[in-house]
Amino acid sequence: MTLQAPWGHARLLPLITRAAQAGRLPQSVLLFGPEGVGKRSIALWTAAQLQCREPSPPCGQCRDCRLAVRMQHPDIHLHFPMPRPKSGTPQKMQEASEAMRRERLDLLAKDSLTPLDEGAATGIYLSAIRNIRAAASKRPVMGEFTVFVIDRAEAMVPQAASQQAANAFLKLLEEPPDFVYILLTSSRQAALLPTIRSRTAPLHVPAPAAEQLAEHLVEAHGADPAVAQAAARQCGGALGPALRLLESGDGDAAATADRLFGALMSGSFSARQRAAAEFSSRGARATLGPAVEELRTRMRDLLCSAVGTPELAFSPKTVESALSGGRERVGGEETPDPDAILATFPALDVAAEAANHNLNPQSTTAVLLRDMSRALSGKPGA
Ligand SMILES: [Zn+2]
């Protein structure tokens, strides 16, 4: 965790700063935008800015800033979905919830990209809401403000068992004490309770352009340019997912698959030949296998687009750009027919099997692209 201004938001951050310094920042804000663009980082940076009393906050040096970086500032409360605490008295459950939260904050202090969401079995439950209300009813410990950051606020589920607590939280959102700020984040704005949406000032956090992210990945994270471009496109400009992709090493396979997919969709024989020739002649299992699997997901995305559900695609931008590139070159051609797309899958199975047996990746890829291309043009086995 650092207090550097979160990357990729050069337009948004000065707006927040000006509003905060002029005392015009709304007290209940909803930061919404795509997954992984840095909404939580922006909220925590804003929280530190509200606490820091130096001339250009957050200075990163003062006591407030240092505590904020370590996730230990007593007046900054980060909440996020967690497993439900074991049943017990409300008091015991609140304590258990708080202990879990502290544990995760320590992890987050060490690595700000630690994924906090552990799947569907988590939520922001009543015990956490009660803790928030308790903290909001006391004056801040160190400074002027108490700031709550509630990450993935859509995980605040309606809790019929305690309408009273839910209502009290809504009242807090609607009329916070003058020393309280509540910053909610969500990438699933539609899933938020309408009662929460209507009580917060919306602040859109857009994803930076993929090209801009690719440059950043090369300059600040030493990524290979081709890998960076593929990762940035696949993640739609979102930094968090792109970094995880690079770390996992799957970025290489994604870049290769994008290259193969582009060659395939170009409809050009020589482009396919060139794409195949870029493989080294050995080590198919390590390089070709993962790329074939990635290419399979591109074809799946293409199928989503062909059957009219492009929103289900994993990397819609890749498909879109390959399709528009193909249209320009081939001249007015539409998305391939769903049956033709389905007919390419057997060739992928054959290539996966070949990669698994460590066959020559160049010739395997040449055959793969030839067979897929034939299937797409409706001439399988021609
Ligand atoms: Zn400071």
Amino acid 162: pLDDT:
65
Residues 6+ apart with CB under 8 A from 99: none
Catalogue the long-range contacts made by 169-177 (C-beta closer than 8 Å, 24 or more residues apart).
169/129, 169/132, 169/133, 170/195, 170/196, 170/199, 172/132, 172/133, 172/136, 173/28, 173/199, 173/200, 174/28, 174/199, 176/27, 176/28, 176/136, 177/136, 177/137
What is the whole-number distance in angstroms between the Cα of residue 70 and the centre of ligand 1? 13
Looking at residue 2, its pLDDT comes to: 63
Distance between Cα 109 and ligand 1 center (Å): 17
Residue 179: pLDDT band with limits 50, 70, 90: very high
Strands 82-83 and 122-123: antiparallel
Q: Can you identify the CATH homologous superfamily of domain 12-204?
A: P-loop containing nucleotide triphosphate hydrolases (3.40.50.300)
C-alpha of residue 5 to centroid of ligand 1, in Å: 13
pLDDT of residue 89: 93
Distance 106 CA to ligand 1 centre (A): 20
pLDDT digits (tens, 9 = 90+) for 312-361: 887 777 777 777 765 555 444 567 889 999 999 999 999 999 988 888 88
Gap from CA of 59 to ligand 1 centroid (Å)? 4
The reported pLDDT for the residue numbered 113 is: 67
Top-confidence residue, 2 or 161: 2
Residue 63 alpha carbon to ligand 1 centre in Å: 7
CA distance 187 to 113: 16
CA of 97 to the centre of ligand 1 (A): 29
pLDDT at 332: 45
182: helix, strand or coil: strand
pTM for the whole structure = 0.71
Query: Domain coordinates of the chain in residue numbers?
Result: 12-204, 249-376
What is the CA(103)–ligand 1 centre distance, in A? 25
CA of 380 to the centre of ligand 1 (A): 66
pLDDT band (50, 70, 90) for residue 375: very high
- Where does the pLDDT of residue 284 fall: very low under 50, low under 70, confident under 90, or very high at 90 and above? low
Beta strands in the chain (DSSP E): 28-32, 76-79, 82-83, 122-123, 146-150, 180-186, 201-204
